[in-house]
Structure 1
Amino acid sequence: MTTLDEARAAKAELRAAVSGISGVVGIGVAPEFSSPIDSERPAPGGATLQRVQVPGAGRVNVLAQQVTVDDLPSSDGGWVLQVNVVDPAVVDKIPEEIDDVPVRVRVVGAVRAG
C-alpha cells in the first residue's frame, strides 16, 4: 500500500513522464480503491469495468457505474497517481507505475470553463 507522501513524491516524476503526451489534462494523487476489477489499474469498490475497443487506443476499461464519495475508502487506505486524459488513444502511452506507485488513467471530457 502506497502512503500519501510516497504518492506525492512520485507525482513530479509522473508529470515529467507524460509532459510530451497531448491530451493529458490533469495529474494528481487519488485514494486507492479496495478492489481492482479485471485490470491492474484500480476501480472504485463495487464498480464494474467493461472492456471496450476504442479505435486507435487498444483495449480501454470503461467504468460502468457511477461512484459516489461514500464509496471512497477511509483515510487509512492507500494512494495512487491519477492521470486524466481527453483522448482514449493516449491511454497506452501512460506508464502503469512510477516508483512503485500505481498509476490510474481516466478518460474524461475536455476541460472547459463553466
Structure 2
Amino acid sequence: MVIVTMLIVVAGLAAIIWMANWPFGTPWAKDLTDEEHRIDVEHNRRHHRGVALILSPGLAAIFGVASIAIFVNQKSQSAAVAMGVCSVVCVGVFVAVIKGGRRRRSSKRR
C-alpha cells in the first residue's frame, strides 16, 4: 500500500512538472512563433520558481511525517527510507531555488 501511495505521489509530481512546462514537450510546441516561444519560456521560468517556493516546503514536511510514521509502525523500512529521501530532495530543491534567486537578483543591481 505504501509503495502504491508513493507511486501516485510521484506520478502527480510528474504531471505537475509536465503541465508547468506547457506547451513545451507537446505537439503544439512546433506551432509557436519565436515571440510566443520567448514569452512562454519567460513565463515558465517565473512560474517554476514560484511553484517550487510554495510546494517544496509542504512536500518536504508531508514526506518527512510519512517517513517517520512508516518507520515508527515498522511496516516497511525501505518505504520509510524512500519517503525520507523524497523529503531531503524537496528541501534541496527549495534551498537551490532560494540561492538561485539571490544570485540572480544581486547581478541585476550592478
TM-score range, shorter chain: under 0.3
**TM-score where L is the length of structure 2:** 0.24
Q: Which has the higher strand share?
A: 1
Structure of greater relative contact order (alpha carbons < 8 Å, 6+ residues apart): 1
Q: Which has the higher helix share?
A: 2
Larger Rg: 2
**TM-score where L is the length of structure 1:** 0.24
